[in-house]
């Protein structure tokens, strides 16, 4: 390898390293900007009073009080809806399907991961946002939401008995996302892998999301702009329960969240 080629390789490597560092810095700053914008919008909406300098969030028990108040307020508003609602209680690790405020199914959360946005943003602003249900604006899943089941009428009673046997061939992977009008994205993933194909589905589900996020970030970085940031909550629950939840929640359903 001649000297000129080595120089070009060093220059190219340095440019790549600098770009990667810049990319990472911009990605991290996206979280900071999202938090700052969220806080500023909340404080701008408040009625400012002269001499009001008390930090209420520093008062012991205040955060717990506004959390409970927001949770109850959101549930009351959800109860006014005629459709099935989804309640996600991260604090108690439970998910519920509700109709008119009454739980019809409860699922224990096995594991979860919360975006740092929820810890870094002003807690009063967070619970102000969570005092009303979120509306689902988009859904994506590795399986059909409304499956089509084709059945042939039985010729006699023996075939009729066979037709009611449970379907044991349903091994489709269960991973889905719910986007909301509050710019919060929920990820639901099956906790267990029942067949080998589940691990592959998990990989491509995660890869698709990372590719989408990286593509959005890259476009902003190239334009020397701070990329957008979407706060997220990732939830792992049993496979069968995850499928029931996805198919039960309406496409523009409501979500009550507390964390």
Q: What percent of the chain has pLDDT over 70?
A: 82
CATH number at residue 187: 2.40.440.10
Q: Is residue 254 part of a domain?
A: yes
State the total domains in the chain: 1
Task: Give the pLDDT confidence score for residue 169 in this predicted structure.
Answer: 43
Q: Is residue 48 part of a domain?
A: no
Give the CA distances from residue 20 to residues 24, 25, 82, 209, 213, in Å, rounded to whole numbers and listed in that order. Answer: 6, 9, 50, 20, 15
Task: Give the pLDDT confidence score for residue 236 in this predicted structure.
Answer: 96
Q: Is residue 151 part of a domain?
A: no
**pLDDT, tens digit, for every residue of 18-64?**
766 766 777 777 888 899 999 999 888 877 655 555 667 677 788 89
Q: Quote the domain boundaries for residue 87.
A: 3-43+60-145+170-258
Q: Is residue 150 part of a domain?
A: no
Q: Is residue 164 part of a domain?
A: no
168 has a pLDDT exceeding 50:
no
Least confident of 46-50, 103-107, 136-140, 200-204: 46-50
Q: Is residue 128 part of a domain?
A: yes
Q: Is the whole-model pTM more than 0.85?
A: no
Residue 121, both tokens: 């943003």
Distance (Å, whole) CA 149 – CA 198: 23
Helices (H), ranges, the chain? 3-45, 62-79, 117-120, 123-129, 157-163, 196-222, 239-248
């Amino acid at each position: 390898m001649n000297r000129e080629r080595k120089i070009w390789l060093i220059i190219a490597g340095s440019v790549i390293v600098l770009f990667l560092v810049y990319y990472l810095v911009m990605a991290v700053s996206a979280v900071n900007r999202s938090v700052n914008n969220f806080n500023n919008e909340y404080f701008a909406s408040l009625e400012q009073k002269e001499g009001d300098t008390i930090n209420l969030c520093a008062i012991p028990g205040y955060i717990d009080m506004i959390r409970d108040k927001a949770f109850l307020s959101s549930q009351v508003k959800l109860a006014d809806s005629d459709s099935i609602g989804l309640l996600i209680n991260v604090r108690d690790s439970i998910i519920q399907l509700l109709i008119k405020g009454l739980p019809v199914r409860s699922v224990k959360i096995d594991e979860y991961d919360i975006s740092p946005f929820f810890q870094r943003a002003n807690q009063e602003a967070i619970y102000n946002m969570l005092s009303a249900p979120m509306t689902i604006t988009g859904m994506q899943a590795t399986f059909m939401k409304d499956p089509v089941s084709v059945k042939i009428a039985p010729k006699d009673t023996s075939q009729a008995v066979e037709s009611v046997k449970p379907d044991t061939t349903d091994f489709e992977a269960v991973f889905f996302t719910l986007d909301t009008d509050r710019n919060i994205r929920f990820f639901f993933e099956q906790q267990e892998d029942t067949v080998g194909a589940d691990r592959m589905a998990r990989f491509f589900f995660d890869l698709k999301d990372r590719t989408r996020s990286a593509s959005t970030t890259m476009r902003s970085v190239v334009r020397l702009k701070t990329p957008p940031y979407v706060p997220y909550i990732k939830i792992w629950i049993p496979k069968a329960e995850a499928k029931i939840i996805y198919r039960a929640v309406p496409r523009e359903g409501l979500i009550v969240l507390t964390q």
